[in-house]
């Protein structure tokens, strides 16, 4: 088995060195679960792609999944994977190995440890975005959630490549990103370019505009705060049912416009009126937002901690404070969370690796 793995790596390296030019967008992971993952990429010309994958420890022979038709935009679904397990994969285009990386599936055990990163308001291709991306890669989370405004300005494929895919390319090839729509993401065709560039969970009427997924003890929910949360609306009723159905003790919600913010834009009072009672009733643990380009963490409000992390790369806004503010600061930042059973440890980290703020949350459920 060690010999098979060695040959796999050697051949992949030789081919990826020679034929890497056919790739116009490096592989990126989407829709990770404990038993499956989507691997997507782009090529310069139409081609039939396939993915060869194997257990990273070399204890089993590799498998191959092949596309049915030629395209420039590729995505392959790997299924029947083992939970909390590391895999190595290679992308093959027209018989030539062109790119490769590795990933680890989500844990399905309630006691499993995992980590996640959170950032928002990033898509400018600024030096600050690149610095935060590099710093995020050093902690290598198991997944990343984005609080919106993924792309500013150009919504063409070139814009997505310059302001997202090229900046996070190494991390994207190993770690799934779960996104939410910001106000800048819906500027063109109500977010159609965003939806065409990502493969997000389709378990809601929103078809990727809002969705949910599980990892270990946590249930994550992404919402579209550009659409209505009014009770009776499609999104609200889906959210209500999704929260009621989840049996996970940790419920983590993320969307763009904050319910609690002391920054430039401030709190979204209408959404607070509609969502906070539901969050409290269904015992949501943690809410992440962006929109204000700073960092702010609330004290627990009826058992819920609200965090604004909008310092992913766009121009900063001044940070202020309110009676419910535990900490706030104007700086580029991301949040690093570590989940251990029913406990979450949060750290806000700046571009230099300095820990700006930290907190421990425990769910008694």
Successive 10-residue mean pLDDT values, the chain, 365 residues: 45 41 87 97 90 88 88 94 95 80 90 92 98 97 98 94 96 98 97 96 96 96 96 97 96 98 96 97 97 98 97 96 97 97 95 97 78
**Looking at residue 364, what is its pLDDT?**
67
**Looking at residue 365, what is its pLDDT?**
63
Burial of 189 (0-12, 13-18, 19+ CB in 10 A): exposed
Helix (H, G, I), strand (E, B) or coil at 281: helix
User: In 317-335, which positions are buried (b, 16+ CB within 10 angstroms) versus exposed (e)?
Assistant: bebbeeeebebbbbbbbbb
**Looking at residue 284, what is its pLDDT?**
97
> Pick from 300, 278, 291: which is nearest to 346 by CA?
300
Residues 6+ apart with CB under 8 A from 321: 262, 296, 328
**Looking at residue 59, what is its pLDDT?**
78
**Looking at residue 204, what is its pLDDT?**
96
**Looking at residue 362, what is its pLDDT?**
85
Q: DSSP E strands: which ranges in the chain?
A: 23-30, 37-47, 49-55, 63-66, 71-78, 86-93, 96-104, 113-119, 143-146, 177-178, 211-215, 218-222, 250-254, 286-289, 295-298, 305-309, 325-329, 333-340, 343-350, 355-362
Alpha helix locations (H) across the chain?
Answer: 2-19, 127-139, 157-160, 169-172, 192-197, 234-245, 269-281
**Looking at residue 12, what is its pLDDT?**
45
CA–CA distance from 155 to each of 86, 127, 186 (Å)? 34, 20, 10
Dihedral sign of CA atoms 249, 207, 164, 226 in order: negative
The dihedrals phi and psi of 100, each to the nearest 5 degrees, come to: -165, 165
CB atoms within 10 A of CB 52: 18
Residue pair 191/209 in contact by the 8 Å Cβ criterion: yes
Using a cut of 0.85, tell me whether the model's pTM lies above it: yes
């Amino acid at each position: 088995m060690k010999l098979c793995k060695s040959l796999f790596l050697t051949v992949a390296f030789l081919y990826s060195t020679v034929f890497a030019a056919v790739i116009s967008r490096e592989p990126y992971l989407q829709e990770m679960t404990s038993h499956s993952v989507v691997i997507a990429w782009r090529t310069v010309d139409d081609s039939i792609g396939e993915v060869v994958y194997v257990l990273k420890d070399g204890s089993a022979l590799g498998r191959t999944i092949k596309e049915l038709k030629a395209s420039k935009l590729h995505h392959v679904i790997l299924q029947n994977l083992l939970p909390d397990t590391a895999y190595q994969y290679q992308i093959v285009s027209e018989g030539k190995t062109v790119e490769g990386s590795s990933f680890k599936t989500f844990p399905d055990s309630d006691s499993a440890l995992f980590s996640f990163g959170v950032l928002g308001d990033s898509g400018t291709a600024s030096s600050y975005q690149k610095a935060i991306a590099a710093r995020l890669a050093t902690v290598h989370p198991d997944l990343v959630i984005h609080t919106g405004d993924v792309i500013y300005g150009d919504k063409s494929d070139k814009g997505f490549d310059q302001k997202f895919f090229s900046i996070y390319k190494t991390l994207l090839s190993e770690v799934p990103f779960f996104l939410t729509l910001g106000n800048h993401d819906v500027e063109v065709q109500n977010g159609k370019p965003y939806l065409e560039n990502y493969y997000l969970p389709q378990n809601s009427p929103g078809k990727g505009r809002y969705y949910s997924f599980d990892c270990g003890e946590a249930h994550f929910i992404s919402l579209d705060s550009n659409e209505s949360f009014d009770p009776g609306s499609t999104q609200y009723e889906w959210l209500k049912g999704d929260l009621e159905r989840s049996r996970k003790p940790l419920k983590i919600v993320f969307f763009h416009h904050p319910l609690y913010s002391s920054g430039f834009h401030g709190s979204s009072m209408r959404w607070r009126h509609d969502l906070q009672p539901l969050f409290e009733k269904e015992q949501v643990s943690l809410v992440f937002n962006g929109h204000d380009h700073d960092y702010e963490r609330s004290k627990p409000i009826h058992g819920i901690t609200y965090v604004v992390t909008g310092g992913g790369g766009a121009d900063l806004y001044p940070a202020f404070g309110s009676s419910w503010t535990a900490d706030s600061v104007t700086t580029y930042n991301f949040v690093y969370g570590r989940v251990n059973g029913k406990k979450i440890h949060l750290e806000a980290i700046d571009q230099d690796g300095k820990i700006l703020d930290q907190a421990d949350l425990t769910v008694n459920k």
